[in-house]
Amino acid sequence: MEQLRKQPPTSLAGLTATLAEDLTRGTDTLPPTEGLRYTFEGARVIVRPSGTEPKLKCYLEVVVPVPTHADLPSARTKANGLLTAIKRDLPTAAGIWQGADVRKVNCSCPKGHIE
């Protein structure tokens, strides 16, 4: 958390950061909480410490336009690729060694999670 707070990532997975928020100050819509929120062009990352274990919890979201139903398979492929790349880049941005135990990224889309 300290590394991310001091040096917010300017890009992840080739996506440019557009906003970095330290949630300990709260926002217009959220009370203060121990967490960081980063908005990128087409993605969002929220990082917070676990309340019960000595680890960071990271929530990743990507948004890929789907102009037509026929575009859904390629959009899912692109979204999964972006999630994989963010998952790969985030430990370095957080100052965590390359061999970090990043096991699973959950997403709410059907069949869209990475294991």
The residues spanned by each domain of the chain are: 2-93
CA–CA separation, 8 vs 21, rounded Å?
A: 9
- Architecture (CATH level 2) of domain 2-93: 2-Layer Sandwich (3.30)
Give me the phi and psi of 81, to 5 degrees please.
-65, -40
The pTM assigned to this predicted structure is: 0.79
Q: Do 20 and 111 form a contact (C-beta atoms < 8 A)?
A: no
CA–CA separation, 28 vs 90, rounded Å?
A: 27
Work out whether the CA dihedral 105, 15, 64, 24 comes out positive or negative: positive
Q: What is the pLDDT of residues 52-110, one digit of tens each?
A: 988 889 999 999 999 999 999 999 999 999 999 999 999 888 887 655 555 544 444 44
